[in-house]
Copies of this chain bind each other. A is one copy, B any other.
C-alpha cells in the first residue's frame, strides 16, 4: 500500500499534519483557528478526561461550571493578568441580529449593544474568584478544591491542530486555601498528578520544574510545569500548576476570618491541561506508518481482522473471533472485530497501523483449524503466531508490555537528546543541529535569559527534582547554583 503520510525525516511538521488528518483525529473548521475534533480524536480526549478526572477526585477535588463570559472590567483588576490575556481574545459586543432592510441578509443590530463588553474566557481566574468572594467568609469554608472542564478561547494568529488553536478544550483547577503553605503544597501536588498522568498513561517522560519570571503565568507568583521532548527535538509544555499567592484574592477582595479571628486574604492555585496533549501524544510516539498510542489511551486496544477467501469461510472465523472478543472484553479490554467485506485485509492492516491500534489479531481458516492466531504489536510491528488457547491472557500482558515499551523508548530518546552543555557555542550548535533538551547553567538574570531567547530557544524550567550543582552561566559566566532546561519549544 502507498504511504499516506509525508515521512518524518522529510518534513516533520507536514508528517504531523498529515497524521492528524489521515488518522481522522481533527481538521480545520470554517472558523479561523478553530478545529473540529473528529470522533477518533475525541475518543482519545475522553480517555484523557476520564483518567485525569479520576485522579482529581482521588485528590479531593470536585467539578463545577462557571460562565463562558467574563465582564471586561474583571480583567483590569489583576495588573499582570491583563497584560498576559487581554490582548488576544474574542469580544462579545452585541446580543442581537436583525434583517438588513436595505441590502437583505442579516446584520448586527446596532441597538443591541452591550453596556459592558464580554470576553470569552481565555482562563477563568477572574470570574471564579469573583464567585469565591461570596463563598468564603471563614476558615471553615476553606479549602475550596474545584476543577472545571471547559472550552476557552485565545485569539492566536498562527494555529496548528491540537497544538495551538483559537478555541481549545481543557480542565482548569482553581483552589482556595487558608495558608500559603497549603496553597504551595497544592501547587506541587497537582504538578505531580500531571507528571504521573503523563508518565503512566500517556507514556511520555516529563521533567517537572519551575518557570522563570518571564515565562510564568500572568498573575502567578510561581508557575510549575512539566516539559516533554518531542521526536523532532522540540519541547512541549504539557501541563502547568500555578501558585497564585494572594493576587486574585486581593484583586477580587476575597478575605476570610482565620482561626485566630483575623481577617486575611485567601491563598490560591490554578492548574490546567488541554487538548494540546493529544498533539504531544502524537509527537512523542508515532512513526511513518501512523499513530502509536499507548494502550491506556487507545480508544480501541485490539482489532481482530479476519483473513478469508469467499464468504463461506467467514462464519467459522467469525465464531472464533467472537469468542476471543468476549474473552478480551471480560478483561476490560476494548476490542473491534472488523468483518467488513468492502476492504481487503492488507488495507485494514494499514488502516489500523495508521490509527495506532496497539494490538492486531489476524485469523484465517488455517488458524481456526490449527487453533492458532497471529498477534501483531503496533509499537514494534512484530508478528508472532501463538496458540489460540489463552490468547486473552497473552494480549493482556502484551498491552502492558507495549505501554511500558513505548514509555521506555520515549525515555531513551529523551536521554539520548538531553545534553549537558557548558558553553554558549556548544548550546547554539546543538540547538541548530539536532535540538533536544540542553542542561546548562544560568545566572538567574533576565538579561541572560533574553540572550538565550535570541536563539529561538527558551528556559523551559528550573528542574524541581535535580540536585543543586555549582557552575557558571553559559551566557554571562557568572556563578549559578543549578542547571536549567533549555530548548526550542512548541
Contact = CB atoms under 8 A, between A and B. Distances in A.
A41 B146 CA distance: 13
A93 to B, nearest CB: 5
A97 B87 contact: yes
A193 interface: no
B90 A118 contact: yes
A88 interface: yes
Interface in A36-82: 36-39, 41-43, 45-46, 62-76, 82
Contacts of A424: none
30 contacts: A29-B66, A29-B130, A31-B69, A31-B70, A31-B71, A34-B67, A36-B64, A36-B65, A37-B64, A39-B62, A39-B63, A42-B64, A42-B65, A46-B63, A65-B169, A68-B151, A68-B167, A69-B90, A72-B108, A73-B105, A76-B106, A87-B96, A87-B98, A88-B96, A89-B95, A90-B118, A91-B92, A97-B119, A140-B342, A151-B151
A155 interface: yes
A117 interface: yes
B105 A76 contact: yes
Contact of A88 (B46, B95, B140): B95
Interface in A6-41: 27, 29-31, 34-39, 41
Contact of A31 (B63, B67, B155): B67
Contacts of A130: 29-30
Interface string A333-345: 0000000001000
Interface of A: 27, 29-31, 34-39, 41-43, 45-46, 62-76, 82, 86-98, 105-106, 108, 117-120, 127, 130-131, 134, 140, 146, 150-151, 153, 155, 167, 169, 342
Contact of A67 (B29, B73, B92, B342): B29
A251 to B, nearest CB: 14
A88 B96 CA distance: 5
Nearest to A35: B67
B95 A94 contact: no
A23 to B, nearest CB: 14
B90 A91 contact: no
Given A37-B66, A39-B146, 8 more contacts: A29-B131, A42-B65, A43-B63, A67-B167, A73-B105, A87-B98, A88-B95, A108-B117
Contacts of A97: 72, 75, 86-87, 89, 91, 119
A232 B128 CA distance: 34
Listed from nearest, the 3 A-B pairs whose CB atoms lie closest are A34-B67, A39-B62, A37-B65
A99 to B, nearest CB: 9
A323 to B, nearest CB: 22
A232 B117 CA distance: 38
Contacts of A64: 36-39, 41-42
Contacts of A62: 39, 42-43
A95 B155 contact: yes
A108 B92 CA distance: 10
A155 B92 CA distance: 12
A337 to B, nearest CB: 15
A127 B37 CA distance: 13
Contacts of A95: 88-91, 155
Contacts of A89: 95-97
A175 to B, nearest CB: 12
Nearest to A61: B39
Contacts of A31: 67, 69-71, 118, 127
Given A65-B169, A90-B69, A93-B93, A127 B30 contact: yes
Given A34-B69, A63-B39, A65-B37, A108 B91 contact: yes
A161 to B, nearest CB: 13
A354 to B, nearest CB: 17
Contact of A68 (B34, B38, B42, B134): B34
A275 to B, nearest CB: 9
Given A36-B67, A86-B106, A155 B96 contact: yes
A169 B72 CA distance: 23
Contacts of A105: 73, 76
Nearest to A117: B108
